[in-house]
Amino acid sequence: MNKIKKHVFLIGSRGLPFNYSGYETFVYKLTEYHQNLPTIQYHVACKNFQEKESWFFNARCFNVKVPNIGAKQAIYYDVAAMLKTSIYIYQHHLHDATIYLLTSRIGPFMFFFRWILKRFKVKFFVNPDGNEWARGKWSKPIQKYWKFAEETMMKNTDLVVCDSLEIEKYIQNEYKALQPATTYISYGADRNEEEIDQFQLYYWFDKFSVKPESYYLYVGRFIPENNLETIIREFIASKSKRKLLIVTNVETNQFYEKLLNSTQFHLDERIVFTGVVQDRRLLDGIRQNAYAYFHGHEVGGTNPSLLEAMVNRCLVIALDCVYSREVLDNNGLFFTKESGNLSTIINHLESQLSDSVRKKMGERNYQRICDAYSWKKITDQYQHLFLDEDIFYNLSKKNQPKKIQWMGKMK
């Protein structure tokens, strides 16, 4: 029986067995694919988990109680998880462990944790989660904190794992003076092989008076930087007779009121807010039957909702930004925020692009996922990352390399 070579602590997600999106799905998939791997022991911080300690996919899940303190909860959660992790490492005398932080939000606290764990030669990895400081949902003071947290994290981490090549370029250029060590491992997606409940799917269709390929689709968070205002305004201006189904967690807030006033979407019966769809199989069925998929995200790396659309063979109409072009490999229709641009693309798609070409583009998206973004490929890369001794040798040098070489390639 192989002896455990590496203890890896995952901090920053809601934990297991939660499987929502983003980091939660990443932790779920990583531990699922590695559950029979004897050489890595995962320890997962879990927010408000019921038991003090439990096991899921052979990962040790430890509870972190978080008080109701509003927007500060996330920072409190990560700091508390780091304290529990530090105590565990001390109690069990774990040398050469890896702590993998998901987001940079506790950057200002990292000097302290590096100092108290120095004797155990712990390595700190971070996934910066794109340009969190640029998100429009944050107030100016919070945006400044995020930027400060990102900078201090770059000073106090051993390796930055970027889920986008463009994010890696940003880290290298923005923090050139700090010479951060970086590597690229993307987020992943898999096609759901479970059979879709057709009765449930068509019941959902009837609820919103749509049929297969009679609707465009948007799935994502209800936040300004996802450019819903542009998508809705331009769709209203188009000649399409199809509907636009917006699957999101709509909340009556300032952004909602602004969107309502600027687009008057309530006057157009083609615009339909459906609410969130929690059932993964149902959501996949909705994606597979969409005429096309809108992706308006512009802040930060590889977006999970885009990958999910691609793995379900959607034709994607994406905001023209470096992140979307990187993931789609230019296999999509790209729009700008300029008035009339997206509505022209919609009209052209329906009048000029044949169904066979549209479906071929969807097939190419599926193949793109298989080639570059499958969870099997992603989790294999993490296995090599956590176990490759050469990486840890390079990280121990005073002059860190700009990019970490592993798996025989410069990533």
Determine the pLDDT at residue 407: 42
Q: Name, in order, each residue with C-beta under 8 angstroms of 86's C-beta and a sequence gap of 6 or more.
A: 113, 116, 117
| Each residue's pLDDT expressed in tens, for the chain with a length of 411 residues | 457 789 999 999 888 877 666 788 899 999 999 999 999 999 999 987 666 788 999 999 999 988 887 767 888 999 999 999 999 999 999 999 999 999 888 889 999 999 999 999 999 999 987 555 455 555 666 678 778 888 999 999 999 999 989 899 989 999 999 989 999 999 999 988 888 899 999 999 999 999 999 999 999 888 888 899 999 999 999 999 999 999 988 866 678 888 888 889 889 999 999 998 988 899 999 999 999 999 999 877 788 899 999 999 999 999 999 999 999 998 999 999 999 999 999 999 999 999 999 999 999 999 999 999 999 999 999 999 999 866 665 665 544 545 554 443 433
Give the residue from 318, 65, 365, 35 showing the smallest Cα distance to 189. Answer: 365
Q: In degrees rounded to 5, what are phi and psi of residue 51?
A: -90, 160
Q: Which residue has the tokens 């987001």?
A: 103
- Is 6-188+374-410 a CATH 3.40.50.2000 domain? yes
- Residue 179 region, left (φ>0) first, then alpha (ψ -120 to 50), else beta? left
CA 347/CA 200 separation, integer angstroms: 31
Decide if 35 contacts 70 (C-beta within 8 A). no
- Its pTM stands at 0.87
Decide if 326 contacts 164 (C-beta within 8 A). yes
Instruction: Provide the β-strand partners of residue 403.
Output: 182
Q: Which CATH superfamily is domain 198-372 in?
A: Glycogen Phosphorylase B; (3.40.50.2000)
CA 217/CA 244 separation, integer angstroms: 6
Determine the pLDDT at residue 137: 59
Determine the pLDDT at residue 382: 96
Range(s) of the chain covered by CATH 3.40.50.2000: 6-188+374-410, 198-372
CA 179/CA 177 separation, integer angstroms: 6
Q: Which residue has the tokens 């192989």?
A: 2
CA 244/CA 200 separation, integer angstroms: 20
Decide if 297 contacts 326 (C-beta within 8 A). no
Determine the pLDDT at residue 411: 38
Decide if 326 contacts 162 (C-beta within 8 A). no
Determine the pLDDT at residue 360: 96
Q: Which residue has the tokens 């987020």?
A: 187
